[in-house]
Chain A
Amino acid sequence: GAGVSQSPSNKVTEKGKDVELRCDPISGHTALYWYRQSLGQGLEFLIYFQGNSAPDKSGLPSDRFSAERTGGSVSTLTIQRTQQEDSAVYLCASSRGLAGLQETQYFGPGTRLLVL
């Protein structure tokens, strides 16, 4: 595809509900990242997928957060029992996955989540 796409672009939910956020990376990119951007805060790393390797989940803030990547392409970030502090912009990024730390990440437009 032309770029990283995310859906939905906006999501409003009630406290306690589960939400799923979707990311479609650039075609052929094997590395995929999820970040969270809270109001007044910098981007916070959540989780990293590289090919078929086990994901790096070191940034997930609690066990209510999980992510999967099916077929090495599309990824879904799931937040269970949402809390108001989960309100943020969730950004997905992908990279080619060939050059490790040297690579530029390409970001999607984000999903703006509001938990009421």
Chain B
Amino acid sequence: KQEVTQIPAALSVPEGENLVLNCSFTDSAIYNLQWFRQDPGKGLTSLLLIQSSQREQTSGRLNASLDKSSGRSTLYIAASQPGDSATYLCAVRGYTGANSKLTFGKGITLSVRP
């Protein structure tokens, strides 16, 4: 069964800092990996989706990389802003059975201090 781990659970940084959020998964046979953002009391917003054949995706100040063989993904946030404060969730999708559903990590709660 696929397991997704995100460490640390919480992170606090000063505004302007570049930062990296880590995600690891146990089964490398994934179809794609997705990073989501969740604001308090809100649903999830998809940030980036990386197919298994891709190594990275970029959107604005966000860059997500995927190393499928080592079971790792990173979300890079450049020049962090207080508005980036939220919980960031990593999710992987496998090919078959239970793993064909999205398996989520517990998330990293990011606080960017003005």
Contacts and interface: CB of A to CB of B under 8 A. Distances in A.
Contacts of B103: 42, 45
Contacts of A48: 101
A43 B89 contact: yes
Nearest to A41: B106
A108 B93 contact: no
B101 A59 contact: yes
A104 B34 contact: yes
B61 interface: no
Interface in A80-112: 91, 93, 101-102, 104-110
A96 B67 CA distance: 28
A58 interface: yes
Contacts of A71: none
Interface residues of A, number: 23
B43 A105 contact: no
A101 B107 CA distance: 22
A58 B46 contact: no
A4 B106 contact: no
A48 B102 CA distance: 11
Contacts of B42: 109-110
Interface in A28-48: 33, 40-45, 48
Contact of A91 (B43, B51, B100): B43
Contacts of A108: 43
Contacts of B89: 42-43
Contact of B51 (A43, A102, A110): A102
Given A43-B89, A43-B104, A48-B101, A105 B95 contact: no
Interface in B65-114: 89, 91, 93, 95, 98, 100-107
Interface of A: 4, 33, 40-45, 48, 56, 58-59, 91, 93, 101-102, 104-110
Interface of B: 4, 31-32, 34, 36, 41-46, 49, 51, 89, 91, 93, 95, 98, 100-107
